[in-house]
């Protein structure tokens, strides 16, 4: 096959004697050197004729005996499908079958054009620039106050970009019928200088007059020519707020976030020390719930119904941690296979359904934390894959290797971080969320540079200083503490694993032992392990990733129903009283028995092996316990070292004397609320036998028992306390105390 092609080259690397070198390896190998045939306003051009349908080529600078070659990463490949004329840029491996556009200005100029048309409330126009050049990127699709539409795409390698939409019947070059008669309908985006003052942002604005008022919903995609996997193809907008319902096309949809009427104007995100977190999956929380209509089950509406009915008011939690709400590939699954980061999962409802959930939650005293999966994306439907072919590796600019869950997102790259931070800002501004839990943030999976930038761009910049930031950083790393009080809260791996080891009475996951060692560490906010402040810790004994306490202890052949029930309550009491922020997973309040990643709450029973143990008694006990934590400051002491401030002191522990629990699996401490002088005594025994201890000299006075594993009684007056529930300690005296097997107590000073 005889191929004739003109190759344009801009020679921006200023080769003095630029030569084109063409070759083909393998069968039919050939090599050919070509000198420029001329020059035009783009640069040099080479007319090449070869008996090959495809070949490799690159450029070199021949300087006598010395030759300077382009880097191997800039090797280019031509195939006959590109046509008879192509364009190349110095230092880029990309080949264009259309002359690449030149920048028409800076995106800041486009911003000046529309700045007075930007909605002021409940609207986010992307502007994150971690380089600090203050670039207003305008990325995404946005409806402006005059009815016009702004469209922008970040793409530093594209040759040309077009908007395909039902505004113009999706007409673009190569994607139209009778193109000679359709070119007037093409909507081409102009190239602007953006990040780092480089040409990388494509933008256009469609006037209101060109928008058919009969269109109830505006769908769109971008058609990218050059610099994209496959040379030219349709591309989804990484900034889309929602996708269409058509799974064959999966178009992006222009959404107006300003129509919702918020009623949470008086809401303030609580201090992290006030958090009692309830993790739930939107689908699993109400799936097949007979109390709800089919339309409400498995949706935002179902969660809204439960909030309005007062479920969480009664339970006492102060924050809902929603498992991923972004569009994901799986249908009604865990949600940890995201397709994009700005979007909302259609299976759960529409965008205003999610806004209503947050609005209603705030009106019921509940903060809302959403799960951001920034470490990987779905491998099935992945709009970012090969979107930008920059030669960095498989998947292009947005990816850097893989994880065990999917393609690893290239966190740490400024352009990628800008997008992810914009996602957080959008959820804060347009959905009023209070904060984020970031999935799998260990530095093996995610570059911590992103987390530092989130702190800087959202908290420190004043965008939302009180944003709740939680990292699932397992095992825990200390670099996310910052100055302690202002650091990330981390799911405490060591708290969870130690509690599970103690309760199953054996080794947990081949590394955590049920010995007394380290018991003090986990209850004193893991200070000797990774944390610098109680704000840095989220304590939990169950999560979506972990089996329930009852399930776990059965793996070590502990099957006695009463013992399992006591252990489940002991885990709950430990979680609610340890220094740091407590979290429970949906269903834990019932004492259910379930395996890890079981998100369908209505398909598990309290304990299939113990049918006599019902939901209600366990739930009632849990509600009372959580509300104790919510009510009393002495049960949520916070700080960098409450021992030094006199708010915390040990009473029992494996490191103390024989009479104070030496080498035993038990723990006890006293706390004091500085503001109202409430004092609490917490005693926990993980041993399978009664243990007699001697409570120390620091407990002088009378203490009323307000919680045990069989009952909780938050008395209001001394007269309401049964004599047997009063612990009296004389001055300079010690008191013998019997801790029953698998027991827990909370006493309040009276």
Gap between the Cα atoms of 547 and 596, Å rounded: 4
> What span, in angstroms and rounded, lies between the C-alpha atoms of 407 and 401?
6
pLDDT at 380: 86
How many Cα atoms are found within 13 Å in the side-chain-facing hemisphere of 184? 2
Give the pLDDT band of residue 733 (cuts 50, 70, 90). Answer: confident
- What are 397-417's pLDDT values in tens digits? 999 999 999 999 999 999 999
Structural domains in the chain plus CATH codes = 3-96 (2.60.40.1110), 105-253 (2.60.40.10), 260-472 (3.20.20.80), 637-749 (2.60.40.1180)
Examine the pLDDT at 124 and tell me if it is beyond 60. Answer: yes
Torsion 703-705-706-707 (CA) sign? positive
Q: At what angle do helices 351-363 and 300-308 cross, to 10 degrees?
A: 20
Distance CA 593, CA 554 (A): 10
Question: What pLDDT, on the 0 to 100 scale, is given for residue 376?
Answer: 96
pLDDT surpasses 80 at 517: yes
Mean predicted confidence (pLDDT) in 659-688: 96
User: For residue 67, is pLDDT > 60?
Assistant: yes
Mean pLDDT, rounded, of the chain: 95
| Structure tokens, 219 | 């769908």
pLDDT of residue 177: 58
Tens of pLDDT, residues 219-235: 999 999 999 999 999 99
- Measured between alpha carbons, how far is 222 from 591 in angstroms, rounded to an integer? 50
| Residues 339, 381 contacting (CB under 8 angstroms) | yes
Give CA angle at 232 (228, 237), nearest 5°.
65
- Write down the pLDDT at residue 248: 60
* CA gap 423, 343 in Å, rounded: 9
**pLDDT (0 to 100) of residue 20:** 97
Angle separating helix axes 615-631 and 561-577, nearest 10 degrees: 20
Which of 216 and 718 is assigned the larger pLDDT? 216
Contact at 8 Å (CB) between 98 and 226?
yes
Compute the CA torsion angle 647, 651, 652, 656 (nearest 10 deg): 100
pLDDT of residue 27: 74
As given in the structure block, the two tokens for residue 150 are 């702004």
- CA pair distance 737, 708, nearest whole angstrom: 14
Residue count of the chain: 750
- Stretch among 299-303, 330-334, 552-556, 704-708 having the lowest mean pLDDT: 330-334
- Tens digit of each residue's pLDDT (9 = 90 or more) over 270-291: 999 999 999 999 999 999 998 9
Record the tokens describing residue 349, joined without a space.
Answer: 């409802």
Q: Would you state the pLDDT for residue 181?
A: 58
The pLDDT, as a whole number, for residue 180 is: 55
Per-residue pLDDT for 718 more than 90?
A: no
Task: Give the least confident one: 98-107, 462-471, 603-612.
Answer: 603-612
Distance CA 176, CA 160 (A): 16
H/E stretch holding 158 reads none
For residue 678, the model assigns a pLDDT of 93
* 418-434 pLDDT tens trace: 999 999 999 999 999 99
Of 703, 700, 693, the residue nearest 729 (C-alpha): 700
Quickly list H helices, 432-543: 448-454, 493-504, 519-523
Per-residue pLDDT, averaged over 42-56, amounts to 95
3-state helix, strand and coil shares in percent for the chain, rounded to the nearest 5: 25, 25, 50
pLDDT, mean of residues 138-157: 98
**Distance in angstroms (rounded) separating the CA atoms of residues 175 and 225:** 12
pLDDT tens column, 148-188: 999 999 999 999 999 999 999 999 998 765 555 566 889 99
> pTM of the predicted model, to two decimals?
0.96
* Per-residue model confidence (pLDDT) at position 549: 97
Q: Which residues neighbour 82 within 8 Å (Cβ) at sequence distance 6 or greater?
A: 5, 95, 97, 231
pLDDT score recorded for residue 483: 96
Please give the DSSP secondary-structure letter assigned to residue 456. I
pLDDT, average across residues 229-258: 91
Query: Does position 324 have pLDDT exceeding 70, yes or no?
Result: yes
- Of 562, 561, 626, 636, give the one whose Cα is nearest residue 588: 626
pLDDT of residue 336: 95
> For position 2, what pLDDT does the model report?
86
For 8, the enclosing helix (H) or strand (E) is: strand 3-9
The owner of tokens 């810790």 is 537
Q: Look at residue 719 and tell me whether its pLDDT is greater than 70.
A: yes
Percent of the chain with pLDDT over 70: 99
State whether residue 701 is helix, strand or coil: strand
Q: How many other β-carbons are positioned within 10 Å of the β-carbon of residue 174?
A: 12
Q: Show the 3-state SS of 86-150.
A: EEECCCCCCEECCCCCCCCEEHHHHHHHHHHHCCCCCCCCCCCCCCCCCCCCCCEEEECCCCCEE
pLDDT at 711 over 80: yes
Question: So what's the pLDDT on residue 607?
Answer: 86
Distance (Å, whole) CA 571 – CA 367: 24
């Amino acid at each position: 096959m005889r191929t004739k092609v003109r190759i344009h080259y801009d020679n921006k690397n200023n080769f003095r004697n630029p030569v084109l070198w063409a070759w083909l390896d393998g069968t039919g190998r050939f090599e050919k050197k070509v000198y420029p045939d001329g020059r035009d306003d783009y640069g040099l051009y080479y007319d090449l004729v070869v008996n090959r349908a495809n070949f490799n080529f690159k450029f070199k600078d021949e300087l006598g005996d010395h030759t300077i070659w382009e880097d191997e990463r800039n090797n280019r490949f031509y195939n006959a499908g590109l046509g008879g004329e192509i364009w190349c840029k110095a230092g880029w491996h990309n080949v264009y079958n259309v002359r690449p556009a030149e920048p028409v200005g800076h995106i800041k100029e486009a911003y000046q054009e529309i700045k007075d048309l930007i909605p002021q409330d409940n609207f986010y126009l992307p502007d994150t620039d971690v380089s600090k050049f203050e670039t207003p990127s305008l990325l995404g699709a946005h409806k402006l106050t005059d009815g016009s539409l702004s469209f922008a795409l970040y793409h530093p390698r594209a040759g040309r970009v077009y908007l395909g939409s039902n505004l113009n019947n999706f007409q673009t070059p190569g994607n139209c019928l009778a193109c000679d008669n359709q070119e007037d309908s093409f909507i081409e985006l102009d190239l602007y200088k953006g990040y780092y003052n480089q040409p990388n942002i494509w933008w256009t604005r469609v006037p209101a007059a060109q928008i058919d008022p009969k269109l109830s919903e505006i769908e769109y995609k971008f058609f990218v020519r050059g610099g994209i996997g496959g040379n030219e193809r349709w591309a989804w907008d990484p900034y889309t707020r929602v996708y269409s319902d058509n799974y064959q096309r999966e178009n992006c949809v222009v959404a107006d976030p300003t129509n919702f009427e918020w009623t949470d104007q008086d809401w303030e995100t609580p201090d992290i020390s006030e958090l009692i977190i309830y993790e739930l999956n939107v689908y699993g929380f109400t799936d097949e719930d007979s109390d709800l209509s089919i339309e409400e089950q498995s949706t935002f509406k179902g969660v809204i119904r439960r909030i309005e009915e007062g479920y969480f008011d009664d339970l006492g939690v102060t924050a809902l941690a929603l498992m991923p709400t972004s569009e994901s590939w799986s249908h009604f699954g865990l949600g940890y296979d995201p397709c994009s980061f700005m979007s909302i999962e259609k299976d759960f409802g529409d965008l205003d359904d999610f806004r209503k959930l947050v609005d209603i939650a705030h009106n019921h005293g509940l903060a809302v934390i959403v799960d951001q999966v920034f470490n990987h994306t779905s491998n099935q439907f992945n709009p970012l894959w090969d979107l930008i072919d920059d030669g960095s590796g498989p998947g292009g600019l947005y990816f850097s290797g893989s994880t065990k869950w999917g393609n690893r997102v290239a966190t740490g790259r400024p352009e990628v971080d800008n997008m992810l931070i914009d996602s957080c800002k959008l959820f804060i501004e347009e959905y009023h969320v209070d904060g984020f839990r970031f999935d799998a943030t260990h530095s093996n999976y995610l570059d911590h540079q992103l987390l530092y930038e989130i702190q800087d761009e959202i908290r420190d910049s004043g965008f939302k200083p009180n944003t709740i930031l939680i990292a699932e950083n397992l095992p825990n790393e200390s670099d996310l503490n910052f100055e302690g009080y202002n650091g990330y809260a981390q799911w405490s791996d060591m708290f969870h694993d130690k509690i599970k080891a103690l309760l199953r009475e054996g080794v947990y996951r081949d590394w955590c032992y049920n010995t007394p060692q380290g018991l003090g560490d986990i209850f004193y906010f893991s200070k000797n392990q990774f944390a610098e402040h109680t704000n840095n810790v989220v304590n939990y004994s169950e999560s979506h990733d972990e089996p329930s306490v009852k399930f776990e202890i059965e793996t070590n052949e502990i099957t006695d129903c009463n013992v399992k029930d006591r252990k489940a309550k002991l885990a709950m009491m430990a979680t609610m009283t340890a220094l740091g922020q407590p979290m429970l997973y949906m269903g834990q309040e019932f004492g259910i028995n379930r395996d890890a990643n079981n998100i369908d709450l209505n398909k598990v029973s309290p304990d299939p092996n113990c049918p006599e143990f019902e939901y209600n008694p366990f739930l009632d006990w849990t509600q009372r316990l959580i509300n104790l934590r919510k009510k009393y400051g002495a049960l949520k002491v916070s700080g960098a070292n409450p021992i030094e401030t006199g708010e915390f002191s040990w009473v029992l522990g494996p490191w103390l004397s024989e009479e104070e629990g030496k080498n035993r699996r038990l723990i006890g401490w006293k706390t004091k609320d500085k503001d109202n002088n409430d004092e609490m005594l917490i005693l926990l025994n993980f041993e399978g036998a009664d243990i007699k201890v001697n409570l120390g000299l620091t407990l002088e006075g009378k203490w009323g028992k307000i919680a045990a594993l069989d009952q909780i009684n938050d008395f209001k007056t001394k007269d309401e306390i049964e004599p047997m529930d009063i612990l009296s300690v004389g001055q300079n005296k010690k008191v013998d105390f019997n801790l029953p097997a698998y027991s827990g107590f909370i006493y309040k000073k009276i």
